[in-house]
Structure formats: structure tokens, C-alpha cells
Amino acid sequence: MASAEIKLSERTELGPEFRRLFSASLFVGGGALVLSMLVGYFTDHTLRRFYFGYLVNFMFFLTIALGALFFVLLQHITRAGWSVAVRRIAETMAAILPVLAALAAPIIVSVITQKGDLYPWAQQVHASSPHVEQKASADAENVEEHPGGIRPLDELTTEKRPYLNPAFFLARIFLYFAIWAGFGIWYWR
């Protein structure tokens, strides 16, 4: 009995139609992001609603990617042989972390502008504005009560100012994403 060679042709490229679809999806996604920012700004003249919605969705996808990275790291630490098939999927999901690092730009911009739209502790500290406790009724929705949109920080947030300040937050976020993205790409390759 002669051995027959089985030659399988495997298509490893998605083709030019995929590239057009990918470019179109990037354009549509970027346009939708700009449109949502404009709608959010003209709705309440701040970007607070946009930032809150964006933060929730960003954290949803970041949690999935970090869970996949944790799964990959756990499988490599324990040298599990059974998980090769499912580990490849998790490695691909963790490889999205550099993209998520780029998508953190609106959060970074909200902290850099120091208006406190997303995080109240990220606003500029003025010597003329006393740091008093906020009343329970003056929550995040009532920005108009405070002149210039600056809300006074409560006593506990003021005590945490060495940790909760824009410079240290930005240093942490860049460091975390560099480590996460490095691990994600390392194990994906």
C-alpha cells in the first residue's frame, strides 16, 4: 500500500477585502467616538457624561483582556499542558492590551486637563478654594452649584492627595500598561 501524501493548503492571509473592511471599521469607530464626544459636550457643556460612559466601557474590555492575561500567566506558571488549545485564545485576547493602552487616551486627557470631569481629585487645587466636606446632596450631578465648576474636595480625598494626583496617576497608568502590554505581546508571540 503506497502512502499518499495529503497536501492541505492553508490560507494564512485574510486578503485585500479584509484590509478594506478593517480600514473602514477604524474610520467608522473614530467618527463615532468624535460624534459621541460632541453630543456629550453639547448636552451638558462638559464631557462628564461622555467620560463616565467611556470609562465603564473601557473598563469592561480591559477587565476581559486582563483576565485573559491572568489565565495565560497562570497556565505558564503551572506549566499546564492541557490548556494549549484554550490558551491560544486567551493569548490573542491579551494581545489587545497595546490597543487598550491607546484607547486610554480620553481618560488620560481628562486627568491632564485637570477639570475634574471624570475624577474630582484630578482638578487643580486653588489656594482660594477651601477643602471642606461635600454635602451628600451635592453629588457629581450638581456641578452648577460651585463657581467655575470646581467642586471642593472632601477631607479624606485631601489626605490622599499624595497618591491621588494627576502626575502620579499618569506615571502609574503608563507603567501598568507598559507591563501589561509587554506581557500580552510576549506570550502572544
The C-alpha angle 143, 167, 114, rounded to 5 degrees, equals 20
Burial per residue of 71-84, b for 16 or more beta-carbon CB atoms within 10 angstroms, e otherwise: bbeebeeeeeeebe
Rounded to whole angstroms, the Cα distance separating 34 from 160 reads 34
Measured between alpha carbons, how far is residue 31 from residues 21, 25, 119 in Å? 15, 10, 25
Residue 166 above 50 pLDDT?
Answer: yes
Angle between helices 84-94 and 48-77 (to 10 degrees): 150
Under the banding of pLDDT at 50, 70 and 90, the label for residue 143 is very low
Answer yes or no: is pLDDT of 128 > 50: no
Do residues 131 and 155 lie in contact, with contact meaning Cβ atoms separated by under 8 Å?
yes
Q: Tell me the pLDDT tens digit for each residue of 50-65.
A: 888 899 999 999 999 9
Q: How confident is the model over 63-94, as pLDDT tens digits?
A: 999 999 999 999 989 988 888 888 889 999 99
Q: How far apart are CA 176 and CA 14, in angstroms?
A: 33
149 pLDDT tier (thresholds 50, 70, 90): low
Task: Tell me which of 47-51, 145-149, 165-169 is least confident.
Answer: 145-149
Please, are residues 76 and 187 in contact by the beta-carbon 8 Å criterion? yes
- pLDDT in the model for residue 137: 42
Q: Would you state the pLDDT for residue 129? A: 47
Could you tell me which residues come within 8 angstroms of residue 164 by beta carbon, excluding any fewer than 6 positions away? 119, 121, 122, 157
The pLDDT of 113-134, averaged and rounded, is 67
User: To 10 degrees, what angle do helices 16-44 and 48-77 make?
Assistant: 140
What is the pLDDT at residue 98? 94
Work out the mean pLDDT of the chain and round it to a whole number. 81
CA atoms within 13 A on the CB side of 9: 2
Question: Does pLDDT of 140 surpass 50?
Answer: no
Check whether 43 has a pLDDT greater than 60.
Answer: yes
**189 to 77, 90, 110, 146: CA distances (angstroms):** 17, 13, 34, 52
Q: What is the mean pLDDT of residues 113-142?
A: 61
Domain extents in the chain: 60-125+148-188
